[in-house]
Structure 1
Amino acid sequence: MSAATLPGEGSVSVRLWLDGREDGGMTIRRAEVAARRPRAAAALVGRKAEEAARLAPLLFSLCGSAQGLAVARACEAALGLDAVPHETARSLLADAEALDSHGWQAVVEWPARLGTPPRPAVLRDLRAAVSAIKPALYPAKDGLRPGGGMLRPDTAALQGALERMAGWLDAVVFAGPPPQDADDLARWAGRGGSDAARLAARLLAPDLAGWGRCGMPLLTDRAPGWFAAALAGDPSFAATPRYDDAPALTGPLERQAGHPLVVSVAERFGDGLARLFAARLADLAELPQRMEAAIAAVHAADPVAAAPTVAGSSGPGEGCGVAETARGRLAHWLRLDGDGRLADARMVAPTDWNFAADGPLARGLAGAAVRNREDAVERVRLLVAMLDPCVACGIELHE
């Protein structure tokens, strides 16, 4: 048995049973995947709505802004607050955080998959630009409160931060224009101008490009009402989510399935590592464009006091909020008691979908061919990196 585990809160464990083949290679006969993520939503129970939204980003080491936004939106649905004037600003906060998360992968996780040293120091400039977004929107740093804060966008500061982010992507990840289709991706990979390009060259190899195919349906539903019904109706949904009574995949591939790069790569290589990586590249390339449009559209707004109806409410005193993260779709559902405190709180995160016992990782591993034990571990790490859990991943091999 071999194992490799990283420290952290919660974990994903992958256990593989390997069988030898007559040609000297091996097959993953069985794959067991178990995600153990701290159920931090329970810590919000008993809190007032504004306190819960303020606490949520502190409970999660990753995607703090998205967690706070989802909780704030759930509180708004439960309280009858319509914060539509703040949604453009909120999309900027979420996109900036997603860019930071993707950037970490590009300079820490992707180099590790190439056997080269990670470069976390390169993140300094990106994170300085990302951290400038929130005060440029909400000078009082109150943007995550239910109903929104005092939104006073500083357009010059926002544009300056975005220019630094886009420049970082151009220099560190793409080393030029992002690839647009499979041929462009192959040429870009062949030039090897960045760790991302060198990883693309590896994943386009014939034995890897289609490896890890799972045939998993995509989680296309974004409606808070759908998540509200699922989370409120079944307490076990948070741990074992289902979409049309089946597991599903969320994340960059689900968002970018129709992107020309992803479509072209899928047509050539099918559903596997190359398609997943192409979706991550497409997601990264799209973020600055989307943020630029949001900066042009954002306007000053005051905190919202009340509104008669809010989409996503699942009943009096109940509500659900959804937010996008780099890893996929996040949803929080909550119910308020008569004193306005959270009587119940549930959440489902991207890791709950992608690393479910019968989810994309498990399906992608079962029956897959590998050369040997070491090759099996490295291929699992590649597939895990493409699905990107929010916790550490440990691998065990059995023959």
Structure 2
Amino acid sequence: MSATMLPGEGSVSVRLWLDGGRDGMAVQRAEVATRRPRAVAALVGRKAEEAVRLAPLLFSLCGSAQGLAVARACEMALGIDATCHETARALLTDAESLDSHGWQAMVEWPAHLGAPPRPSALRDLRAAVSAILPALYPGKDGLRPGGGALRPDILVLRDALARMAGWLDAAVFAGPPPQDADDLARWAMGSGTDAARLAARLMSPDLAGWGGCGVPLLGERSPDWFAAALAGDPAFATAPHRDGAAALTGPLERQADHPLVVSVTERFGDGLVRLFAARLADLAELPRRMEAAIAALRPADPVAAGSTGPGEGCGVAETARGRLAHWLRLDGEDRLADARMVAPTDWNFAAGGPLARGLAGAEVRGRDDAVKRARLLVAMLDPCIACGMDVQE
């Protein structure tokens, strides 16, 4: 089985070896390999501002976060302090994350239920998301080294947020988001949304704890940590690790302390339903965080470079899928002499990482069941990557 490769994002291939006996069938061994075109190489030789403009075009997913991570890396290399733009930037990437989660809820989650996708249901959400950038930066120049002319239109931003929150309430939750495991069970059985129906399926005894991997959460957010890792070892971009061990990034990392996730973990342990609860918590928290950002916004002007000449920098940005980091080195003419990145896919689908360890030893009911379960785990860890499956018995 195969899936179409996404431009700039690549794909993952999963090979499973099943072993059956008197006590049932299980995944004896799992191999995970990622094939991601190193589009970041196209940034080498570009001027800093050109590289920032190009980054969102090179990657099919999370374009704002990609551009922002490159912009932050350039700012570090050029000695630019763009702190005055960070609130607006967080608002941009949060809106992008809501759009990404929304796509999953309307297109990918129905597929796991055997239901038709509903991309037309995203029309109102995407119209609201697209209003954010011009309401922050009328010149649409916010994602550049030093930022653009930040002139927030608070009325437009609040209207856009109200439309996003209204869409989320109607299309995903159909009421207040669940706050604990009991809430989740009631919501799963009483709401008619695809999200609730998928929650009901994942809470079934044979799936709730399936795919638990025991991999620690990444936790690292410091650009300096990512800079040391990426600059010190070119192989880190394709085989990332924290202190020599695998790590998990994404909604679970961000929402591990959310009451819903804590309650679900206590009841079901590690596994599919825990990962899904983290995605629901991530969705529910986005409007609140965006509301606080809008309240904190202040006008700001572009910030000029504090230095010229060779320099290095690393930028980190959050995406719906997890943490993204870009590292780069400038030459004497402010062109990128080297560029490296590590994406959520590189962490979650690393050899020996969360997906591989979640699959190894997991119980299944045969080839078709193994494929369905593996695809569910892929969707909970990194739903935006194309995935091919090969199963051997």
**Residues 126-205 of structure 1: matches in 2 within 5 Å?**
126-205=125-204
Rounded to whole Å, the distance in 2 between the matches of 1:124 and 1:394 is: 30
Rounded to whole Å, the distance in 2 between the matches of 1:141 and 1:5 is: 35
2:310–2:331 CA contact under 8 A, matched in 1: no
Unaligned runs of 5+ in 2: none
Query: C-alpha deviations, 1:275-308, integer Å up to 9, x for none?
Result: 0000000000000000000000011000001458
Query: C-alpha deviations, 1:300-321, integer Å up to 9, x for none?
Result: 000001458xxxxxx9600000
SS at match of 1:244: coil
Query: C-alpha deviations, 1:29-79, integer Å up to 9, x for none?
Result: 000000111111110000000000011011111100000000000000000
Return the offset for 1:390. 3.8
1:59 maps to 2:58: yes
1:251 maps to 2:250: yes
Q: Structure 1 counterpart of 2:81, which letter?
A: D
Rounded to whole Å, the distance in 2 between the matches of 1:210 and 1:192 is: 23
Query: C-alpha deviations, 1:171-220, integer Å up to 9, x for none?
Result: 00001000000000000001132000000000000110000000001010
**1:331 equivalent in structure 2:** 325
**Alpha carbons of 1:389 and 1:173: their partners in 2 closer, same or farther (altered >3 Å)?**
closer
Query: C-alpha deviations, 1:236-280, integer Å up to 9, x for none?
Result: 000000111101000000000000000000000000001000000
Rounded to whole Å, the distance in 2 between the matches of 1:222 and 1:128 is: 31
Moved over 2 A (4+): 4-9
SS at match of 1:397: strand
Query: C-alpha deviations, 1:76-103, integer Å up to 9, x for none?
Result: 0000000000000000000000000000
**1:11 equivalent in structure 2:** 11
2:132–2:160 CA contact under 8 A, matched in 1: yes
Rounded to whole Å, the distance in 2 between the matches of 1:298 and 1:281 is: 27
**2:359 equivalent in structure 1:** 365
Q: Structure 2 counterpart of 1:221, which letter?
A: E
Rounded to whole Å, the distance in 1 between the matches of 2:272 and 2:355 is: 11
**Alpha carbons of 1:31 and 1:51: their partners in 2 closer, same or farther (altered >3 Å)?**
same
SS at match of 1:124: helix
Query: C-alpha deviations, 1:326-367, integer Å up to 9, x for none?
Result: 000000000000111000000000000001111100000000
1:49–1:341 CA contact under 8 A, matched in 2: yes
Question: Which of 310, 313, 322 lines up with 2:316 in the alignment?
Answer: 322
**1:394 equivalent in structure 2:** 388
Return the offset for 1:228. 0.3
2:31–2:351 CA contact under 8 A, matched in 1: yes
1:37–1:391 CA contact under 8 A, matched in 2: no
2:52–2:67 CA contact under 8 A, matched in 1: yes
2:212–2:272 CA contact under 8 A, matched in 1: yes
SS at match of 1:254: helix
Q: Structure 1 counterpart of 2:88, which letter?
A: A
Rounded to whole Å, the distance in 1 between the matches of 2:283 and 2:383 is: 17
**1:375 equivalent in structure 2:** 369
Calculate the TM-score normalised by the size of structure 1.
Answer: 0.96
**Residues 61-100 of structure 1: matches in 2 within 5 Å?**
61-100=60-99
The count of aligned residue pairs is 390
Rounded to whole Å, the distance in 2 between the matches of 1:374 and 1:282 is: 30
**2:231 equivalent in structure 1:** 232
Return the offset for 1:7. 4.2
Rounded to whole Å, the distance in 2 between the matches of 1:75 and 1:307 is: 12
Rounded to whole Å, the distance in 1 between the matches of 2:324 and 2:384 is: 12
Q: Once structures 1 and 2 are overlaid, which stretch shifts more, 389-398 or 345-354?
A: 389-398
1:19–1:29 CA contact under 8 A, matched in 2: yes
SS at match of 2:332: coil
Return the offset for 1:6. 3.2
Rounded to whole Å, the distance in 1 between the matches of 2:174 and 2:342 is: 36
Rounded to whole Å, the distance in 2 between the matches of 1:361 and 1:306 is: 42
SS at match of 2:112: helix
Rounded to whole Å, the distance in 1 between the matches of 2:240 and 2:5 is: 26
Rounded to whole Å, the distance in 1 between the matches of 2:209 and 2:200 is: 13
2:6–2:60 CA contact under 8 A, matched in 1: no
Rounded to whole Å, the distance in 2 between the matches of 1:113 and 1:371 is: 17
2:310–2:333 CA contact under 8 A, matched in 1: no
Return the offset for 1:8. 2.8
1:101 maps to 2:100: yes
Q: Structure 1 counterpart of 2:297, which letter?
A: V
RMSD: 1.1
**2:282 equivalent in structure 1:** 283
Query: C-alpha deviations, 1:118-150, integer Å up to 9, x for none?
Result: 111111111110000000000101000100000
SS at match of 1:114: coil
Rounded to whole Å, the distance in 2 between the matches of 1:40 and 1:368 is: 34
SS at match of 2:150: coil
Return the offset for 1:391. 2.6
